[in-house]
A = this chain, B = another copy of it.
Amino acid sequence: MLLRTMRYLWALMVGAFVAGASCAQTVDALPSWNDGAAKARVVAFVQAVTQTGGKDFVAAADRIAVFDNDGTLWSEQPMYFQLAFAIDRAKAMAAKNPALAGKPVFKAAAAGDMKALAATGEQGLLELVALTHAGNTSEEFAQIVREWVKTARHPTFKRPYTELIFKPMRELLDYLRANGFKTYIVSGGGVEFLRVVSDELYGVPPEQVIGSSIKTKYEVRNGRPVIVRLPEIDFIDDKAGKPVGIHKFIGKRPIAAFGNSDGDFEMLEWTTSAPGARLGVIVRHDDAAREFVYDRDSHVGRLARGLDEGPTRGWTIVSMKRDWDRVYPD
């Protein structure tokens, strides 16, 4: 009896030990990444900043990683997904309201005529955003986005937009979080659009999404408080606006930044130019078979300065074609 009890206790102890040991085992947290310089660089960086007592150690509270969204976490061709949303919304609104249908920008949007849409210029696009994104409450807008996301399909891939996130990047987000990082999205896109899907798609809660915004107003309607969305730009979170947005929302300088276009240049520059271990990564769209190929001459996600200066600044250029074993989730 004594022996049996002892064996039982021993088994418990050993079991606990084995469980602990298996946690410490090296498991590939980035299975969708091919072995190569890019993956090695990311892993080495994470190991360096998490190694207690190491020269590059960074306290968990300061492990801030920032990710661009369009073209970095999901695709952005042939047009930003949020522009597709705006166009679909314009069509739906024009169908109900003939006065709107007469506006050139709505006409172009409803016809899916990208050339005519571009011809309306910045003014036209701002009008499109104001009419399709404002004038409702924050709750109503979130509901409209939720409905759209359920039914909309990407024009080329014929799949829901939410299936066009990059699997390797989702793994990277999880990997960083498992190593004590706080992951933020810093997008040129609209913050209230992205927050609807960020948690489900990326495991990033709304409060860790920074983006462009329109002004809002607090109002009590029939005793019920609402946040009303106004047709006025509040903040453009792009280019030099990204470090400003990061400083405004986080108040700390990130130690890792991930982007894909020159719109992310200043974010990578701000992140990587401080002392200590820093990681700057640019995702390059060079995979014609599985996604798209574009850089210097693209209107969407133009990448030129990042290609020219990135390597000398120590940034890692990820080739989707070479470095990613798979692009999208199954």
Residue ranges of A at the interface with B (Cβ–Cβ < 8 Å): 2-3, 5-6, 9-10, 12-13, 61, 138, 182, 191-192, 195, 199, 205-207, 209, 213, 216-218, 220, 224-225, 227, 234, 240-244, 247-252, 266, 269-270, 273
Contact = CB atoms under 8 A, between A and B. Distances in A.
Contacts of A242: 218
B243 A227 contact: yes
Contacts of A224: 273
5 contacts: A2-B6, A5-B6, A207-B251, A225-B270, A225-B273
B206 A251 contact: yes
A2 B1 CA distance: 12
Contact of A138 (B182, B240, B247): B247
Given A9-B13, A251-B209, A244 B270 contact: no
Contact of A218 (B213, B217, B220, B266): B266
Contacts of A270: 218, 225
Copies per complex?
2
The 7 closest A-B pairs by CB, nearest first: A206-B251, A218-B240, A218-B243, A9-B9, A207-B250, A6-B6, A195-B251
A252 B10 CA distance: 48
A252 B6 contact: no
Contacts of A206: 250-252
B2 A225 contact: no
Given A9-B10, A10-B9, A220 B251 contact: no
Nearest to A9: B9
A31 B227 CA distance: 38
Nearest to A195: B251
Contacts of A247: 138, 216, 227
B216 A248 contact: yes
A167 B67 CA distance: 38
A224 B270 CA distance: 9
Nearest to A10: B9
Contacts of A10: 9
